Structure 1
Amino acid sequence: MHRLAASLLVTSALTMVAPAARAQEPQPQGELPQAQPATEAQAAPTQDSAAPPAESDDIVVTGTRAAGRTRLDSPSPVDVLSGASLQRQGTTEVAAALANVAPSVNFPRAAATDATDAVRPATLRGLSPDQTLVLINGVRGHASAQLNTNGSVGRGSSAVDLNTIPVAALDRVEVLRDGAAAQYGSDAIAGVVNLRLREARSGGGATVTYGFYDTQVDTARGSRHVTGENNVTASAWQGIGFGSDGFLTLSGEYNRREPTNRADFDPRVSPSRVTGRFGDPALEQYTVFANAGTSLTDNWSLYGWVGYQDRDVRGAAFPRLPGVTSGYNVNELYPNGFLPIINTKSTDLNSALGVRGQVAGWNVDLNVSYGRNRLSFRTLDTANFAAGNASPTAFYDGRLIYDQWVAGLDVTRKFDVFQSLNVAFGLEGRREGYKIEAGEAAGQPVSGVSAGAQGFPALTQANALERSRRNGSAYLDVEAQLTDALLLGLAGRFEDYSDFGSTANGKASLRYDIAEWLALRGTVSTGFRAPSLQQQYFTSTASVVQNGVPFLTATTPSTSGLGTALGGVPLDPEKSTNFSAGTVVRFGGFDLSVDGYYIKLRDQLALSENINASFSPAVASLLSPYGVTAARFFINGVRSTTKGIDAVAHYRLRTERAGAFDLTVAGNVNKVEVTDVPTSTAVLDPAPTLFARSRVLTVEQGTPGEKVTGTIDWSLDQVGALARVTYYGDVNEPGTTPAADVRTGRHAVTDLELRYQALPGGQVALGVSNLFDVYPDRTIPANNATGVIGFPYYSPFGFNGRYLYVRAGLSW
């Protein structure tokens, strides 16, 4: 109870808004960004000022289709993050930056999880990453082709990769912390993240950030000091005007990161030394974005954007020691053993084109978007034991491709009924495609002969497939200001999928302003999430480590012959019921919001246990033809409840002599409880367990139950400073038994940054993330026989230690 009481005084540092000089706020039309292009006055840069963000009206378009509604006037909790607040950090990743300032958002840093190291998902309110809908300028974003199949938070999810959008391209981010499937469609169970792109006709800026680690690594079997592991990010943006009001805003970013290593000392070699690589993977990526708009006539405008990212990530598998080669000899290739490198290359495309205007007094917005993500895999510095010393040392392992077409029509109009009545309706059509391409034969596993390329076997011809589906939806959304004090909102949405049928969902919201400084608000809604194509059709054979032992494991569709024999059935959509209630207090420079929530999930999708051949002779007989020792598939039937409290406490103070202060205390208390698990429908006797202890605890305890952030942002003339302390509750990385559990512990992480505006338009910042070099609790030897894993597989604040950085920026 004391934690719940404390949470009433805390919330996320989400009320930081961009300076008044930034681009003018949009006039919302439905879900989408402003109808009018940016003007010359809107082009001033945001990232180079030494001052903290100034007051703003915080006009929001997420969670409401009524024009002109502010963050504190909305019937649902909406957080606003400016591009400036995201940039004033040591990290340049959008997902990590959001997690640092938004306590309800978590970004579990995973390691030793194959391609999940390259495409790391974020979570909202402790739910699965794919239960949060991501929009770009109000238009549905596309998911990654990657399916998280290893032991990380979000196991079994295929979510939108937030890090495909650079901070330099963003004007702001709006986070709706409320169920919104009735408004926006599938996936919006936990809430919605709306990434709003920068719009400018002139001006520009460039920033270079360089950082490195200086940390003491204390693992269970030894200690060492690490200095280096550099990270450099260079970004720039430029606004270009054309015509009377047209704008083209170009943004670009380049990032190169050396790998980090927090592995323990390996007891299997003498003398004991670090043989593995456990930490952030090496990364090199570049991203470009263009956002544009212009008037066509007095009443119609054209807008659109396109973005492209190329990301090359190199993470490590477990080390292969000399002489330990599963009966095969590659000692001539690697006399000292070898460390396989998993090379994931992601190319990502975001694009949209639309028109806005008026027809008979109705505001009309029509748009078409296309997104595509392609993941190509290679295994480097490796071998296929079946070929012995003649084995190649690098393999092409295949490719995953996901693409999405969306066409949307949004129509809104405000009527002079009651105080006001806003009516919105629309249609959306979507086509999704998913493709698996096989890798080269030399790296593929062969039943009874070879496990394929060590570290990451190639996808086989049996894995190759191409699938697609279509979806159509219609919605109606009404907001009525019944009196000066009372606001009522009703929304409904009908969706039809070509692969599983139809669903209908609704939402009701209510807000009552007791006084100018005090309001109550609440919502009730139903939601859903359709099973993704990745969850329905992904298939592969890979080496999966379980309690430190690798098993060659087949991931198979639930309706395949193997999946059906083990208990698989066709997948159904997830369903939810959401309740929220809260209050808003504001006076002077102070505002506070407190919102409680209760989310009940049923038919939740999950990846089953790894069903091992050792379970029974019958299971062994089923797996034998596939040459694997374990299998898994997707299942429905998990039921859970999520309840918690978010709060916002923020105070702005402006003084003539002491400078300007923005003070924020922020927090989230969250509890997830699994109330029911699926049972097997297999005719096997005994039937295998589909969802056991470790899976339950990953859902319940994979993200912090408490997260509290306190932030001070201060400026005086040319000098500024930011101090942030974030407390993270305990996270459990469960094993098959309590003795095998690995916990992160409860820790507080401190970040500092000093800024100096050396000349007009120029700024230098010095900062340190994790000032006191805090780590999650280390992994004990009993749970780490190989010494590869120094800390838990995932941690809400990572496991890299103290990070020093300098940032230099110039705006014009």
Structure 2
Amino acid sequence: MNNHRKRGSSFWIKPSVVAVAATLSLSSFAAEQDDEKKAKEKNEDVKVVIVGSRAAPRSVGESAVPVDIISGEEFESQGITDMNSMLAVSVPSFNVNAQPISDAATLVRPANLRGLPPDSTLILLNGKRRHRSAVITFLGGGLSDGSQGPDISVIPSIALKQIEVLRDGAAAQYGSDAIAGVMNFVLKDSSSGGQVQLNSGQFFEGDGASTELSVNVGTELSERGFANFSLEYKTADPTSRSVQRDDAAALAALRAAGNDDVIGEIADPAQVWGSPEIKGDYKLFANLGVDLSNNSQWYMFGNFAEREVEGGFYYRNPFTRSGVNADGNGNHLVIDLTPNDGLSCPVFPAGDLAGLRNVFADPNCFAFNEMLPGGFTPSFGGTVTDQSLVTGYSKEFDSGFNYDVSVTYGKNQVDFNIKNTINPSLGPDTPMEFSPGSYSQEEKGFNFDMSYPVGRVNIASGFEYRDEAFGIKAGDEASYTVGPYAADGFGIGSNGFPGFQPRDAGEWSRSNWAAYVDAEIDVSDSFFMSLATRFEDYSDFGFTENSKVAGRFQWTDEVAIRAAVSTGFRAPTVGQSNVRNVTTAFGNNGLEDQATLPPTNPISIQKGGQPLNPEQSKNFSIGSVMEFENLFITVDYYRIKVEDRISLTSPQALTAQDITDLVNQGVTDATSYSSVRFFTNDFDSRTQGIDLVANYTTNWFDGDTTLGLVYNWTDTQVDISSSNTISATRARLLEENLPDIRATLSMNQKWDQWRATVRYNHYSGYYEDHLDSEAFPIEEDRSFTLDVELGYDINDNFNLVLGAQNITDETPGDNPWAGIAGAKYAVTSPFGFNGGYYYFRLGYDF
């Protein structure tokens, strides 16, 4: 094992304490509940925050770093219930966009905090580290390409008591992935009552209809405990924001001119750009706890979720699709079904209708135009299964000393499927539906935390051990097999997403231990500071050390200043180091098969690949908290420097010799590859920005009024001066694919049984390399959307809500490259491209 010492760590201030044990969990969940109860008795309006501290909970305003608290009730004023979409209008610098025709990213949408990839944000559930998704985002709109973060969309909003969003580097406290911040999802813990909600809606275009039924119920677990359960079921129809492709329109015109004997019916649109169909989405969460004594608790929580998603893919032109209809010399691909009869099939240019008629007339010859005369468009999707279980015990002594011990387990698996496609190398015997295999991510952990207050100082320390494994399961034989016609130039494997071969299958694992210690010191009544340091050792790349110093000074009764400086890291995932994948993407010559190989593969090494090391980060933030009678404002500046960022390379073109070398390795389908990508530590970045959050309460229109403003400015600069694998276009995506400015201005009004919400969302411009190709740039201008909602309490139990998101039906500007592949709009728009959505919700509280 090569020990890896964190570069530049001597530059940063370190606490004068040494870690004796480590963990990623927060203070005891049950003890937190008791502290929260005490805080509420002091001030019922205080929003208490747990994340970021292992001492007694503090209010949001008292925190030394920026934290957002989003209550479960706040989500009830939003029509779309997808967790990513709801957070996007509640948290500054949180961005998410649609992912049509994005391979696995269509199944698990990536989201970004503070302009960094999804796996730079640590996700906690009830204070415990959440396992990551099995999905690696190969096509994620640039910034998210190659990321592997947790899937927060499996968490139903009805299960949540609140969400705590720590917007600051926290690797010294919680370990890997906390470069951009931490999000802690806190489950409901009521022992009685419950709620039932029915949500339904659709887009103004008349498509994308969705129905969702959610239930939450609490019950007693003995006389001293609770059991709280949440269930959600959802379906959603697909959407289409497409125009007819130019090549498909030309084929339709050619067919109409009297060539329907060789050109089949052309669908309009031939290729669909839109939200995928959700055929079934089940989510079950449970949260249990029992007070074993007045100062000790047992707790357990977990989930099981499963959803089936199906989306569109690229259209295959019946005359130009390489490996199916055309070879590398511009000739039409034809199979000789009787190669030993001494007769040969005709050779003619692709698109020569006369030559194609001759093939149709000869029973000894076959072209895929006979099976698919209008070309074909695969349907790609999969089933995502997610499960977890956490159990633990905590105890607090009269002296204030407390400890928490827990074990965690989590697994996520995605089983892919692809339909309406072929394995060309099998010829006319090919099936048209395949199971290409699956990815899985499994994580196990053990945590021990302890905390002890000594006067004005609270000292906490702990230990953690974690084991994680990434697995690949081979697909069905037809999805990867080399058929009898591969030697004639026909593609190998299920076209669009070839199955994982047995040589690709396997499981790769690693383990790590960690130890931390932190101290929180009330230096005076007006000055508070915290110190933290953490050590971790990984079985695959070695040792890392990180530190953090934060402080808060109460300048006046109304104004406080806070600042933090820290080092951090993000470990490469096991999947990023070992994954293999082939995806179809747009390249210089149209649709191309791009292979993703491990960075240690000989071909990757030849192109500049090497074993992955962790990213290293340096975080700095400074801000102010202003609290007046009815006005609360926080403004924070942040600067995040990340060295050796882990990302997918730009496609590296393969030479004929590269392909031969891959075939010699046993990669039999390499003959269809055009380029290769791999994960690499190959560039540095600097991200800076400003977050502004303001809330004002008053009484307008004879009711209670709340005004809110969430504003973010983010600027990213990428240094690729020493890179040989990241293109200038890729760097521009990292810098400009997200809007520099995001802002949401909202107004909530309440009168007795009525309430109303109006929300204005602003987005600055952004850049997109349409079809993941630098040949089709799109530069979008600033835009806005407007949401409105009206709610009415029918009685003490029933309530009704009507609303619309994007009521002005805003969409991105028309795509200047729409004719190339049929997308009507830019597909990475920060507010989507489906337009307005209206909905209703019927709720029953008991």
Q: Does 1:312 align with 2:291?
A: no
Which string of whole-angstrom CA distances, capped at 9 and with x for unpartnered residues, describes residues 619-671 of structure 1?
5655565322211111103100000100111111246x711111011100000
Q: CA deviation at 1:300?
A: 1.3
Q: CA deviation at 1:378?
A: 1.0
Equivalent residue number for residue 530 of structure 1? 571
Question: Matched residue of 2:592: which SS?
Answer: strand
Equivalent residue number for residue 789 of structure 1? 823
Q: Does 1:279 align with 2:314?
A: no
Equivalent residue number for residue 292 of structure 1? 288
Q: Does 1:264 align with 2:254?
A: no
Question: Matched residue of 1:515: which SS?
Answer: coil
Q: CA deviation at 1:195?
A: 0.5
Q: Does 1:665 align with 2:709?
A: yes
The answer to whether the 8 A contact 1:318-1:340 is kept is yes
Structure 2 residue corresponding to 1:94, chosen from 78, 83, 95: 83
Q: Is the alpha carbon distance of 1:677 and 1:165 closer, same or farther for their aligned partners in structure 2, counting shifts above 3 Å?
A: farther
The answer to whether the 8 A contact 1:445-1:541 is kept is no
Q: CA deviation at 1:810?
A: 0.5
Q: Is the alpha carbon distance of 1:464 and 1:383 closer, same or farther for their aligned partners in structure 2, counting shifts above 3 Å?
A: same
Equivalent residue number for residue 772 of structure 1? 808
Structure 2 residue corresponding to 1:714, chosen from 749, 755, 768: 749
Tell me, in whole angstroms, the C-alpha distance in 2 between the residues paired with 1:541 and 1:121.
20
Q: Which amino acid aligns with 1:705?
A: D
Tell me, in whole angstroms, the C-alpha distance in 1 between the residues paired with 2:402 and 2:699.
40
Q: Is the alpha carbon distance of 1:535 and 1:494 closer, same or farther for their aligned partners in structure 2, counting shifts above 3 Å?
A: same
Q: Is the alpha carbon distance of 1:601 and 1:259 closer, same or farther for their aligned partners in structure 2, counting shifts above 3 Å?
A: same
Which string of whole-angstrom CA distances, capped at 9 and with x for unpartnered residues, describes residues 410-447 of structure 1?
1112221xxx2111111111000111011012111647
TM-score by length of structure 2 reads: 0.85
Q: After the TM superposition, which of the residue ranges 328-337 and 719-728 deviates more from structure 2?
A: 328-337
Aligned 1:111-130 pairs, distance under 5 A: 111-130=100-119
Q: Does 1:629 align with 2:663?
A: no
Question: Matched residue of 2:274: which SS?
Answer: coil
Tell me, in whole angstroms, the C-alpha distance in 2 between the residues paired with 1:37 and 1:587.
28
Q: Which amino acid aligns with 1:289?
A: F
Q: Does 1:170 align with 2:160?
A: yes
Q: Is the alpha carbon distance of 1:713 and 1:548 closer, same or farther for their aligned partners in structure 2, counting shifts above 3 Å?
A: farther
Q: Is the alpha carbon distance of 1:579 and 1:389 closer, same or farther for their aligned partners in structure 2, counting shifts above 3 Å?
A: same
Q: CA deviation at 1:704?
A: 1.2
Equivalent residue number for residue 16 of structure 1? none
Q: Does 1:227 align with 2:206?
A: yes
Equivalent residue number for residue 378 of structure 1? 417
Q: Which amino acid aligns with 1:442?
A: A
Structure 1 residue corresponding to 2:640, chosen from 589, 596, 599: 599
Tell me, in whole angstroms, the C-alpha distance in 2 between the residues paired with 1:547 and 1:162.
35
Structure 2 residue corresponding to 1:356, chosen from 394, 398, 402: 394
Tell me, in whole angstroms, the C-alpha distance in 2 between the residues paired with 1:811 and 1:136.
25
The answer to whether the 8 A contact 2:26-2:128 is kept is no
Q: Is the alpha carbon distance of 1:738 and 1:337 closer, same or farther for their aligned partners in structure 2, counting shifts above 3 Å?
A: closer
Which string of whole-angstrom CA distances, capped at 9 and with x for unpartnered residues, describes residues 767-808 of structure 1?
111111111223213xx4433222223221111001111111
Structure 2 residue corresponding to 1:387, chosen from 409, 426, 430: 426
The answer to whether the 8 A contact 2:177-2:569 is kept is yes
Q: Does 1:133 align with 2:122?
A: yes
Q: Is the alpha carbon distance of 1:690 and 1:414 closer, same or farther for their aligned partners in structure 2, counting shifts above 3 Å?
A: same
Q: Which amino acid aligns with 1:297?
A: S
Q: Which amino acid aligns with 2:445?
A: V
Equivalent residue pairs, number: 745
Equivalent residue number for residue 836 of structure 2? 802
Aligned 1:435-514 pairs, distance under 5 A: 435-444=471-480, 446=482, 449-514=490-555
Tell me, in whole angstroms, the C-alpha distance in 2 between the residues paired with 1:36 and 1:63.
13
Q: CA deviation at 1:31?
A: 4.2
Question: Matched residue of 1:179: which SS?
Answer: coil
Q: CA deviation at 1:738?
A: 6.8
The answer to whether the 8 A contact 1:463-1:540 is kept is no
Tell me, in whole angstroms, the C-alpha distance in 2 between the residues paired with 1:173 and 1:129.
17
Structure 1 unaligned blocks of 5 or more: 1-27, 43-53, 215-225, 680-688
Query: In proportion to residue count, which structure has more helix?
Result: 2
Equivalent residue number for residue 241 of structure 1? 220
Structure 2 residue corresponding to 1:192, chosen from 157, 182, 196: 182
Tell me, in whole angstroms, the C-alpha distance in 2 between the residues paired with 1:240 and 1:38.
19
Equivalent residue number for residue 343 of structure 1? 381
Structure 1 residue corresponding to 2:50, chosen from 61, 67, 72: 61
Q: CA RMSD in A?
A: 2.2
Q: CA deviation at 1:321?
A: 3.8
Tell me, in whole angstroms, the C-alpha distance in 2 between the residues paired with 1:518 and 1:671.
27
Structure 1 residue corresponding to 2:435, chosen from 371, 396, 420: 396
Equivalent residue number for residue 754 of structure 1? 790
Q: CA deviation at 1:674?
A: 0.4
Q: Does 1:729 align with 2:725?
A: no
Question: Matched residue of 1:189: which SS?
Answer: coil
Q: Is the alpha carbon distance of 1:331 and 1:693 closer, same or farther for their aligned partners in structure 2, counting shifts above 3 Å?
A: same
Q: Is the alpha carbon distance of 1:496 and 1:213 closer, same or farther for their aligned partners in structure 2, counting shifts above 3 Å?
A: same
Q: After the TM superposition, which of the residue ranges 239-248 and 468-477 deviates more from structure 2?
A: 239-248
The alignment-based identity, stated in percent, is 34
Q: Does 1:580 align with 2:569?
A: no
Q: Is the alpha carbon distance of 1:348 and 1:738 closer, same or farther for their aligned partners in structure 2, counting shifts above 3 Å?
A: closer
Tell me, in whole angstroms, the C-alpha distance in 1 between the residues paired with 2:713 and 2:425.
52
Which string of whole-angstrom CA distances, capped at 9 and with x for unpartnered residues, describes residues 675-697 of structure 1?
23543xxxxxxxxx411012111
Q: Does 1:422 align with 2:412?
A: no
The answer to whether the 8 A contact 2:136-2:146 is kept is yes
Q: CA deviation at 1:541?
A: 2.4
Question: Matched residue of 1:653: which SS?
Answer: strand
Which string of whole-angstrom CA distances, capped at 9 and with x for unpartnered residues, describes residues 179-206 of structure 1?
0000000000000000111111100000
Equivalent residue number for residue 549 of structure 1? 590
Equivalent residue number for residue 107 of structure 1? 96
Q: CA deviation at 1:617?
A: 5.9
Q: CA deviation at 1:739?
A: 5.9
Equivalent residue number for residue 34 of structure 1? 30
Equivalent residue number for residue 697 of structure 2? 652
Q: Is the alpha carbon distance of 1:361 and 1:517 closer, same or farther for their aligned partners in structure 2, counting shifts above 3 Å?
A: closer
Tell me, in whole angstroms, the C-alpha distance in 1 between the residues paired with 2:56 and 2:284.
31
Tell me, in whole angstroms, the C-alpha distance in 2 between the residues paired with 1:569 and 1:641.
24
Q: Which amino acid aligns with 1:796?
A: P
Q: Which amino acid aligns with 1:95?
A: N
Question: Matched residue of 1:186: which SS?
Answer: coil
Question: Matched residue of 2:248: which SS?
Answer: coil
Q: CA deviation at 1:728?
A: 0.8
Tell me, in whole angstroms, the C-alpha distance in 1 between the residues paired with 2:787 and 2:400.
51
Question: Matched residue of 2:426: which SS?
Answer: helix
Q: Is the alpha carbon distance of 1:547 and 1:100 closer, same or farther for their aligned partners in structure 2, counting shifts above 3 Å?
A: farther
Tell me, in whole angstroms, the C-alpha distance in 2 between the residues paired with 1:747 and 1:337.
37
Q: Is the alpha carbon distance of 1:258 and 1:57 closer, same or farther for their aligned partners in structure 2, counting shifts above 3 Å?
A: same
The answer to whether the 8 A contact 2:314-2:821 is kept is no
Q: Does 1:302 align with 2:298?
A: yes
Question: Matched residue of 1:160: which SS?
Answer: coil
The answer to whether the 8 A contact 1:37-1:245 is kept is no
Q: CA deviation at 1:532?
A: 0.3
Tell me, in whole angstroms, the C-alpha distance in 1 between the residues paired with 2:579 and 2:827.
23
Question: Matched residue of 2:450: which SS?
Answer: strand
Q: CA deviation at 1:505?
A: 0.3
Equivalent residue number for residue 217 of structure 1? none
Tell me, in whole angstroms, the C-alpha distance in 2 between the residues paired with 1:230 and 1:322.
33
The answer to whether the 8 A contact 2:28-2:403 is kept is no
Tell me, in whole angstroms, the C-alpha distance in 2 between the residues paired with 1:31 and 1:769.
38
